[in-house]
Amino acid sequence: MTTSRAGAAGLAGTLALTGLAPLVWGSTYAVTTTFLPPERPMFTAVMRVLPAGLLLLALTRKLPYGQWISRALVLGVLNIGIFTALLFVAAYRLPGGVAAVLTSAAPLFAVGFAALAGIERLTGRKIVAGLIGMAGVALVVLKATAALDTLGVLAGIVAAVAMGSGTVLTKRWGRPEGVTPLAMTGWQLTAGGLMLLPIAALVEGAPPALDARNIGGYLYLGLIGTAVAYALWFRGIARASATSVQFLGLLSPLSATVIGWAALGQSLTVLQILGMAIVLGGTLLGQTSGAPRAVESTPAAENAKTRLAA
């Protein structure tokens, strides 16, 4: 009984700490529209992730090796490259609350991907939780005052797919023995940033001139909104189930909507508040009762996976 309570308390603490990441990510939209150069989503994506990744590589002094070179690239493209690029496209083309709630569809995608990957069962509770979250999203989106942009909406949805699949793959593959979540975070941020760098140069050309306001915004996004937040996020994936962590992503639109109302003067209606409450309910319903053992990709574990696949 004592062990069970201690495990539940440990899981609750892990999820609470992991939940800080999407709360911070919710501020991305306000920072983007207030502090950063206009119409430069790709440059902003690079500035957010690549310096943070290089900083973590320098701090951890651990590089990917063997099969983890390709795995780090795949995870970096899904979790960081595609997600971040499309996140900023959505952020520049949509009101902050709308852009944030679109990416909150990721939990439902994660539920399906986790079932296909064989790491979690597909249950009615998770599906209902995902639908509840989507219902809350719809209430917030439908009451947004600004008009919706088709490209921005598509960008937000594809970003959610990338994040959901990336979270599941991160859990399925685990991490190499002796490699910390901080090092894994550095690998993925660097891989994603290197993917975004040539795209930004091709699409947007030379970097814009930056003033002190822009630099401050990028420092916040890189250090707090990326290095710290993603380290907490990947730590949570290592200690809890993939879908439990992904459902925490629903906290991001709550944060973005409140920040948009408090800091940017965006309207907040009764139906939007109801939608936020529904989203929070979906987040809580999507949590599982147990924490799976963290996955380590040791040789023995890889051999076991090969035998099971055969």
Q: Residue 72: which pLDDT band, with cuts at 50, 70 and 90? A: very high
pLDDT digits (tens, 9 = 90+) for 216-226: 999 999 999 99
Taking alpha carbons only, the member of 183, 242, 264 closest to residue 15 is 242
Q: What is the mean pLDDT of the chain?
A: 84
CA–CA gap between residue 109 and residue 134 (Å, rounded): 11
Taking alpha carbons only, the member of 101, 68, 309 closest to residue 170 is 68
pLDDT at 75 over 90: yes
According to DSSP, residue 1 is labeled -
pLDDT digits (tens, 9 = 90+) for 177-201: 889 989 999 999 999 999 999 999 9
Per-residue pLDDT, 3: 54
Per-residue pLDDT, 136: 84
Question: Where is mean pLDDT largest: 92-101, 153-162, 210-219?
Answer: 210-219
Per-residue pLDDT, 293: 42
| Residue 296 bridge partners (DSSP) | 175
Q: Residue 147: which pLDDT band, with cuts at 50, 70 and 90? A: low
